[in-house]
Amino acid sequence: MPSAAGRLMEKELDAVSTLLEEPKRPCVYSLGGSKVEDKIPVIENILSRGKADKVLLGGVPAKLFLRAREVKTKINEEEIHDFNQFLDRARNLTKRYADHIEVPLDLAYEDTLGRRVDQPVNSPSMEEEALDIGSITLEKYSKIVRGAATTVANGPLGVFERNGFEKGTRQLLESMVDSNGYTVIGGGHLVGLASIQGIEEKFSHVSTAGGAMLSLLSGQSLPGVEALVRAANRMRIANSPS
């Protein structure tokens, strides 16, 4: 059947094209959440192509890269398919792009009374998994984001559903709004939190593309888009004067 991209798809492709072609500099990415298998390819692509000046890490990706730097941070390896492969890729990225990849200086934990406690990443006193980036890291990340001309964020920086551990993600979003740069957020959790904060309309682009946005940012092609391009070429040939 004859098909065409709608306006929403057009906006998505335009936004990602801006990021991958000539983003305004400095260009900063904030990547968090739980799926390192989605984030590692993005980091590899944007840094190898020189499309990002800084990558700020939170969530599980931050723990993986801390482990790559020999920091003994607790991480549930069983939840990451082929953990050792991703750890090797994180180590390689760290060696090649150490100046571009920012990992937490401190992390937030929950104490026995359910309160938030921030500790340096190398602190031996916390045996549980961290639930958010710490206050020192948040101050550093916020300063970088406020000075950016382009900021892309996908995935929360911590377990924002837990009371007291939404601080990192909330302040990151507020810093993006304060930056006056070109801002893009994606991922259901991050978009949902921006909506709860009442700032969703203040971003340059709010992606509803889910994993498709990450696929494009990681350098992959989208079969649906390729099919539309081929169909458009066929129509041009069919409608051209003989």
Q: pLDDT 10s per residue in the chain (242 long)? A: 666 788 988 899 999 999 999 999 999 999 999 999 999 999 999 999 999 999 999 999 999 999 999 998 889 888 888 999 999 999 999 999 999 999 999 999 998 888 999 999 987 666 788 999 999 999 999 999 999 999 999 999 999 999 999 999 999 999 999 998 999 999 889 999 999 999 999 999 999 887 889 999 999 988 888 888 888 888 788 887 76
Q: Which domain holds residue 55?
A: 25-239
Distances (CA, A) of 115 to 4, 108, 125, 167: 52, 10, 15, 13
Tell me, what amino acid is at 20? L
- Cβ pair 73, 63 in contact under 8 A: yes
- Cβ pair 184, 15 in contact under 8 A: yes
Answer whether residue 12 is part of any domain.
Answer: no
Among residues 100, 87, 80, 105, which one has the least CA distance to residue 168?
Answer: 105
Number of domains composing the chain: 1
The whole-model pTM stands at 0.92
Answer whether residue 1 is part of any domain.
Answer: no
pLDDT at 222: 85
pLDDT at 2: 66
> From CA 176, how far away is CA 153, in angstroms rounded?
9
Answer whether residue 189 is part of any domain.
Answer: yes
- Cβ pair 87, 64 in contact under 8 A: yes
Answer whether residue 171 is part of any domain.
Answer: yes
What is the CATH classification number for the domain harbouring 220?
A: 3.40.50.1260
Answer whether residue 13 is part of any domain.
Answer: no
> From CA 183, how far away is CA 167, in angstroms rounded?
20
What are the strands, taking DSSP E only, across the chain?
27-31, 54-57, 101-102, 106-110, 116-120, 132-133, 150-154, 182-186, 205-206
Answer whether residue 77 is part of any domain.
Answer: yes
